[in-house]
Amino acid sequence: MKLPKAYPVRKTKIIVTLGPATESEELITQLIKTGVNIFRLNMSHARHETIRRIVPLIRKIAFEEQKQIGILLDTQGPAIRTGELPTKLNLKPGDEFTFTVLGYKSAENNSVDVNYDGLINDLHVGDEVIVDNGVLRMEVLEKSHNSLRCKVLTEGVMGSRRHINLPGVRVNLPALTEKDISDVELGCELDVDYVALSFCREAGDIKQLRALCQKFGKSPRIVAKFEDQESVRNLHEIISEADAVMVARGDLGIECLLEELPIIQRKIVKTCLQYFKPVIVATHMLESMIENPYPTRAEITDVANAVFERVDAVMLSGESSVGKYPVSCVDVLDRISRRTERSGGTDHISSVELEGSLEKFVRSAVLLADHIRASAILLFTKTGYMASMAASFRPGWSPIYAFTEQKEIAQKLTLCRAVYPFVLSFEEDSEINIQRAERMLLEKDFLLPGSVIVAVTEFQTNNVIDRSVPRRSVNSVEVRLIQ
């Protein structure tokens, strides 16, 4: 079958983290042209003045390139970190090391303070402390009211402001720190499309973030990040409350047993499909490409496995924020995704029991499009909900061209698998809307004359017998031949 020039055969979306390596107008333009769908702003490192410059720049370039590009603001979250050290410390197995709190300074050379005063109360003798993403592992030997004496288990270097993980420990940290609140306020001011909640532990954390955004007058989509054992224990309630989910395998891989990580990832993906929620797989996807121009074979397979599981998006972190080959990384993700999608994928969604009539209607439209190998699904939505649901049914053949009246809704659909959003003002007559959408897609080379498409619309109908009866919404699905 001949494909139109602009046919977006890749269904898996690509998220790229911006940083010193990619914050220029030239690099952002290249990344968009290479296939980026969403840019991530990592508030663990980004300054407010940088964000104020970058967000309008992304919007400007996206407008010039005639692309809908989403923006994701990722909060730092309540991270536990070490304080400042005058020099780095080389530690070996068997060494003793002391963590201090409450402003206490130890006289020992092998010691550092931490930014969380509750560390002593939360930990017990025998618990494990992991520093700097697993570079150092220690076991708690003894604790006092202001210090924690540990035994070093693995050789490594202790530096300043290193991240600390406490596997299996319920820490009494707030869901949102003062820094997070300030960052979210900035994101709402700049009208970002998504806000990611780091170290989300329960549904109440998401509600708190949503209320904060509403206080600032905005409603970005909330992305819950799975990063510790507690979030996995509360998996269903978190996914039910969130608008989208991120499998953040960096901290999650440290907090959980390594052999459990692939199982947890698959479980989260399957559960997201049950709840019709977009899911992102992130961290270390092409880690070696921070320094090297080509990925490892293991990384290629890891990306392909995520695509085979039909996740909504894969994400780059250090590879694009500080790496040497950010554009090549996007090209690699694009190539792997396109090829893997052609080979099929898991069918998790077929086991989901549908309850509502709208769910059954949308699924029928997707099944029809797959059965007849439709060139596209044209879907008209005011809120974006129907398009997001259609994406959850994972069309195997047809891309979803979603038309909405609001640019903000279009940008919030950039995360959904296989969905390519367009802005179109709606008429009351659904036939006019479909014809205008068809012309737009023909002009942009997204469709060819002679293409068969499935159109999904919601239109208003009158009672022909009694005009005083209020109009009602009717959902419609039809097969059309593009002239």
- Which residues participate in catalysis according to the annotation? 40, 81, 225, 283
Cβ pair 11, 376 in contact under 8 A: no
Residue 366 makes CB contacts below 8 A (sequence gap 6+) with 377, 390, 393, 394, 395, 398
All residues at 6 or more sequence positions from 127 whose CB lies less than 8 Å from its CB, including other chains: 139, 140, 166, 168, 169
Residues paired with residue 75 on neighbouring β-strands, in sequence order: none
Handedness of CA 6, 10, 11, 13 (dihedral sign): negative
Instruction: Determine contact, residues 68/413, Cβ cutoff 8 Å.
Output: yes
Distance CA 231, CA 236 (A): 9
Beta-strand runs (E) in 114-198: 128-131, 136-143, 147-152, 156-158, 163-165, 194-197
d(CA 368, CA 199): 40
Sign of the CA dihedral with 377 first, then 379, 384, and 387 last: negative
Structure tokens at 137: 């592992």
Residue 167 contacts residue 131 (beta carbons within 8 Å): no
In angstroms, the CA 285 to CA 178 distance is 31
Structure tokens at 157: 């270097």
Torsion angle defined by CA atoms of residues 473, 424, 451 and 366, in that order, rounded to the nearest 10 degrees: -40
Residue 55, Cβ neighbours under 10 Å: how many?
Answer: 20
Cα(344)–Cα(347) distance, integer angstroms: 9
Strands 313-316 and 194-197: unpaired
What is the Cα–Cα distance from 115 to 423, expressed in whole angstroms? 47
Q: Residues 134, 167: contact at Cβ < 8 Å?
A: no
* Helix residue ranges per DSSP H, 245-356: 249-255, 261-274, 297-308, 318-321, 326-342
Determine whether 269 is exposed, middle or buried from the number of CB atoms within 10 Å of its CB (0-12, 13-18, 19+): buried
Helix, strand, coil shares of the chain, percent, nearest 5, are 35, 25, 40
Residues pairing with 245 in the sheet: 224, 279
Alpha carbons 287 and 102: distance in angstroms, whole number: 37
- Please name every residue paired with 149 in a beta bridge, in sequence order, or none if there are none: 98, 142
